[in-house]
Structure 1
């Protein structure tokens, strides 16, 4: 069993990570700006007020934990486009203050920087809306930052090209920087199976200091 501090626990991905972690018996502290938005109750769940953009707040909730998970990164709330990369910097700065006692960091990433079968990157796909491109590149900037960090144990988990709520199958395939596609060329994962993969990484670390991605 791990002790986990989870930022963004009330988002689409974060809420699935929360459910999966509790399902497996981990102790979770859900860190949110407004605790009233967490309606889940569970003996292993604690709700704390915190700000992912404040290194002091990060350090306070991370102290004594095994893992910090950042699920900020959507299009609104604390994961708004302009805060994705600053959140990465704040998380690392906060964890650095804890020195050798700092927990691992696992951050939800984006698919935009993944290589496609034709050798380009997902964000080079024609016809993508501007707001989505902005989010993709913000996640790319965050990943670029993480790759400069050697004194904090970090992992960045990029979803498949399409991620949406769906079935929890418990099955997925992994890659590092290449988009995972099926026989028909589709790249997809359910939010539930994304959470499965992230908790698997917590329980059996295989990607410390790197990005990996998943898909069916």
Structure 2
């Protein structure tokens, strides 16, 4: 495999840090593009390029992308906490990044979006983020994972704290020690999820960002949406892929086939990094929307970020 010049937007963040380390370990040269790319550490194959993408004009962003074989957009506002999960700023920055990538003639653009843009199985126009059942199944699934709750607590402030209380309440139900107050905690959390979940704004923005790509033949792109339960965790070294739809586990015997409960797949940042690095090298999903999923049976909390030093 020839050495590639690969740009990573958000190299010191959650997914970006794992991907940068994966690519460098494969022998590629990485240009880390963000406000503080030096936070990732030092390596002879890593070049930090400091730029405030939100405030910079497209012409300056284009210079940051010059000479890249592949550009991966790992930008996500989660690091700034729940108040940063906004609709318009995310879409506006995505627009600027795409225009700059086209202007600088990046060879291949890999957009890392969200699972909210994936369709429910068998539907053409209904994404999972439009399903009340999906939102409940999603919140219940991440609450069952100690590793996922710990990750959310670290990154999203009060949203993580509320998730921990919700998890503790469900643990009490499963252990047979639930009280009226416990059940009220569960009901209140789930009503909030269905009516005013703070994550919905960002999830919807990610879903809408896919429209910048869908049917667009003016540049070479691929759009990867992590499966629903995306979190830090063990690097298993393998993964499965699916196009356009949210990956779901098979229906258990006797279960309601329309239910999404206990059927959501996930993937760790380390395993998604493998999938994205493979795509950067092979470029076999040009113009396609896809997801990757892997084994999440290990629930041990692991760092949300990795470093080069």
TM-score calculated relative to the size of structure 2: 0.64
2:58 matched to 1:55?
yes
Give the conservation status (yes or no) of the 8 Å contact 2:68–2:107. yes
Name which of 105, 111, 133 aligns with 1:107: 111
**For residues 159 and 90 of structure 1, what CA distance do their matches in structure 2 show?**
23
- Displacement of 1:58 in angstroms is 2.5
2:240 matched to 1:178?
no
**For residues 110 and 70 of structure 2, what CA distance do their matches in structure 1 show?**
7
**For residues 57 and 212 of structure 1, what CA distance do their matches in structure 2 show?**
31
Q: What RMSD over aligned residues (CA atoms) do the two structures have, in Å?
A: 2.1
- Displacement of 1:148 in angstroms is 5.1
Q: What is residue 100 of structure 2 aligned with on the other side?
A: 94
**Higher Cα Rg: structure 1 or 2?**
2
- The structure with higher relative contact order (CA 8 Å, sep 6+) is 2
Give the conservation status (yes or no) of the 8 Å contact 2:12–2:37. no
2:204 matched to 1:203?
no
Give the conservation status (yes or no) of the 8 Å contact 1:173–1:215. yes
**For residues 103 and 127 of structure 2, what CA distance do their matches in structure 1 show?**
35
Q: What is residue 153 of structure 2 aligned with on the other side?
A: none
Give the conservation status (yes or no) of the 8 Å contact 1:168–1:190. yes
| Residues 103-152 of structure 1 deviation map (CA, whole Å, 9 limit, x = unaligned) | 21111110012123474532122444622211111011110112253211
Summarize the alignment of residues 3-152 of structure 1 with structure 2, pairs less than 5 Å apart.
Answer: 3-36=5-38, 38-53=39-54, 54-77=57-80, 80-81=85-86, 82-98=88-104, 101-117=105-121, 119=123, 120-123=126-129, 124=131, 125-127=134-136, 128=193, 130-147=197-214, 149-152=216-219
User: Residues 205, 19 of structure 1: CA spacing in aligned structure 2 closer, same or farther, 3 A cutoff?
Assistant: same
| Residues 9-56 of structure 1 deviation map (CA, whole Å, 9 limit, x = unaligned) | 1111111111111111110010111245x2421110010112334422
Aligned length: 213
Report which of the two has the higher share of strand: 1
User: Residues 181, 49 of structure 1: CA spacing in aligned structure 2 closer, same or farther, 3 A cutoff?
Assistant: same
**For residues 174 and 154 of structure 1, what CA distance do their matches in structure 2 show?**
17
TM-score calculated relative to the size of structure 1: 0.89
Report which of the two has the higher share of helix: 2
Gaps of 5+ in 2: 137-192, 251-261, 295-309
**For residues 126 and 39 of structure 1, what CA distance do their matches in structure 2 show?**
33
Gaps of 5+ in 1: none
Runs (4+) of structure 1 exceeding 6 A deviation are none
**For residues 7 and 77 of structure 1, what CA distance do their matches in structure 2 show?**
16
- Displacement of 1:172 in angstroms is 0.9
**For residues 45 and 106 of structure 1, what CA distance do their matches in structure 2 show?**
19
User: Residues 26, 185 of structure 1: CA spacing in aligned structure 2 closer, same or farther, 3 A cutoff?
Assistant: same
